[in-house]
Chains A and B, each alone.
Chain A
Amino acid sequence: MPAVLFRSPNDSSEPWRQALSERISGLDFRAWPNVGDPADIGFALVWKVPPSFLKEFPNLQAICSLGQGVDHIFGDPELPRGPHILRLVDPWMGRAMAEWFLLQVLRFHRQGPDYEALQRRREWKQLPAPETSTRRVGFLGLGALGAEAAGKVAALGFDVAGWSRTRKSIPGITSYAGPDELDAFLARTDILCGLLPLTPETTDLMDARLFAKLPKGAFVVNAGRGAQLVETDLLAALDSGHLAGAALDVFRTEPLPADNPLWTHPKVQVWPHVSALTNADSGADQVAENIRRVFAGETPINSVDPERQY
Chain B
Amino acid sequence: MGVILVHVANADPAPWIDELRRQAPDLDARGLDAIGDPATVEVAITWKLPHGLFRTYPNLALIQSMAAGVDHVLADPDRPARVPVARVVDPWMARSMVHQVALAVLRWHRRLEWVESMRADARWPTGVVFDADAVRVGVLGLGHLGQAVARAMQDLGFAAAGWARSPKVIDGLDCHHGPEGLRALAAWSSVLVCLLPLTPETEGILNAGLFERMAPGSLLVNVGRGGHLVEDDLIAALDGGRLAAAALDVFRTEPLPAGHRFWSDPRVYLTPHIASEINPVTATRVFVENIRRSRAGHAPIGLIDPAKGY
Where the two chains meet, the residues of A that have a C-beta atom closer than 8 Å to any C-beta of B are 10, 92, 95-96, 98-100, 102-103, 106-107, 109-110, 112, 115, 118-119, 122-127, 129, 131-132, 152, 155-157, 254-258, 260, 263-264, 269-272, 274, 277
Q: Is the CB of B274 within 8 A of A126?
A: yes
Asked if B106 and A125 make an inter-chain contact with CB atoms under 8 angstroms apart, the answer reads: no
- Judge whether A156 and B132 touch: CB under 8 Å: no
Q: Which residue of B lies closest to A259 (CB)?
A: B122
**Interface size (B, Cβ < 8 Å)?**
44
State which of B52-60, B91-99, B211-219 sits at the interface with chain A: B91-99
State in angstroms the CA–CA spacing of A269 and B117 once bound together.
11
- Which residues of B are found within 8 Å of A122, using beta-carbon distances? 258, 263-264
Which 8 pairs across A and B sit closest by C-beta, in order of nearness? A255-B124, A124-B255, A258-B122, A103-B106, A106-B103, A122-B263, A122-B258, A124-B272
Pick the contact of B95: A107, A112, A156, A264 (CB < 8 A): A156
- Cα separation A98 to B110 with both chains bound (whole Å): 12
Selected from B100, B116, B256, the residue in CB contact (under 8 A) with A110 is: B100
Give the complex CA separation of A96 and B110 in angstroms.
9
Q: Is the CB of A124 within 8 A of B116?
A: no
B115 contacts A271, C-beta separation under 8 Å: yes
A residues less than 8 Å from B119 (CB atoms): 263-264, 270
Q: Are B272 and A112 in contact (CB under 8 A)?
A: no
Given contacts A102-B106, A274-B130, 16 further A-B contacts (CB under 8 A): A95-B132, A98-B157, A103-B103, A107-B112, A110-B103, A112-B103, A119-B263, A122-B258, A122-B263, A122-B264, A124-B272, A152-B155, A152-B156, A256-B124, A258-B121, A272-B125
**Which residues does chain A contribute within 8 Å of B110, judged by CB atoms?**
99-100, 103, 274
- Of chain B, the residue at the smallest CB distance from A251 is B124
Would you give the shortest CB distance from B14 to chain A, in whole angstroms? 16
> How far, in Å, is B261 (CB) from chain A's closest CB?
11
- Closest chain B CB from A96 CB (angstroms): 7
Number of A-B residue pairs with CB-CB distance less than 8 Å in the complex they form: 103
Enumerate chain B residues within 8 angstroms of A106, measured Cβ to Cβ: 99, 102-103, 106
Q: Are B115 and A99 in contact (CB under 8 A)?
A: no
Contacting residues, chain A, for B92 (C-beta < 8 A): 131
| Cβ contacts under 8 Å, B263 to chain A | 119, 122
Interface contact B279-A131, CB-CB below 8 Å:
yes
User: What sequence of 0s and 1s flags, for each residue 244-280 of chain B, a beta carbon within 8 Å of any chain A beta carbon?
Assistant: 0000000000111010000110000111111001010
B109 at the interface (CB under 8 A from A): yes
A184 to chain B, nearest CB (A): 27
The answer to whether A156 touches B126, judged by C-beta atoms less than 8 angstroms apart, is no
B272 touches A99 (CB 8 A): no
Closest residue of chain B to A109 (Cβ to Cβ) is B99
Contacts of A277 in B (CB 8 A): 128-130
In whole angstroms, how far apart are the Cα atoms of A155 and B95 in the complex?
10
Point out the residues of chain B lying under 8 angstroms from A270, CB to CB: 115, 118-119
**CB-contacts of B161-208 with A (<8 A):** none
**Residues 225-256 of chain B: 1 if any A CB is under 8 Å from the residue's CB, otherwise 0?**
00000000000000000000000000000111
* Closest A residue by C-beta to B123: A272
Q: Is the CB of A99 within 8 A of B109?
A: yes
Which residue of chain A has the shortest Cβ distance to B103 in the bound complex? A106
Q: Mark B129-155 against chain A: 1 for CB-CB distance below 8 A, else 0.
A: 110100000000000000000001001
B158 to chain A, nearest CB (A): 9
Asked if B107 is at the interface of the complex by the 8 Å CB criterion, the answer is: yes
Which B residues, 66 to 105, have Cβ-Cβ distances below 8 Å to chain A? Answer: 92, 95-96, 98-100, 102-103
> Min CB distance, B135 to chain A, in Å?
9
Q: Please give me the residue from chain A that is nearest to B106 by CB atom.
A: A103
Instruction: Specify which of A102, A129, A269 is in contact with B115 (CB 8 Å cutoff).
Output: A269
Residue of A nearest to B255 (CB): A124
Whether B116 lies near A99 (C-beta < 8 A) is: no
Instruction: Give every chain A residue within 8 A of B99 (Cβ-Cβ).
Output: 106, 109-110, 132, 156
A269→B258 CA distance, assembly (Å): 27
Asked whether B109 lies within 8 Å of A124 as measured between CB atoms, the reply is no
A132 to B107, CA, bound (A): 19
| Bound: A152/B210 CA distance, A | 32
Which residue of chain A has the shortest Cβ distance to B104 in the bound complex? A106
Complex-state Cα separation, A255 to B118, whole angstroms: 12
Q: Please indicate the chain B residues that have their CB under 8 angstroms from the CB of A263 in the complex.
A: 119, 122
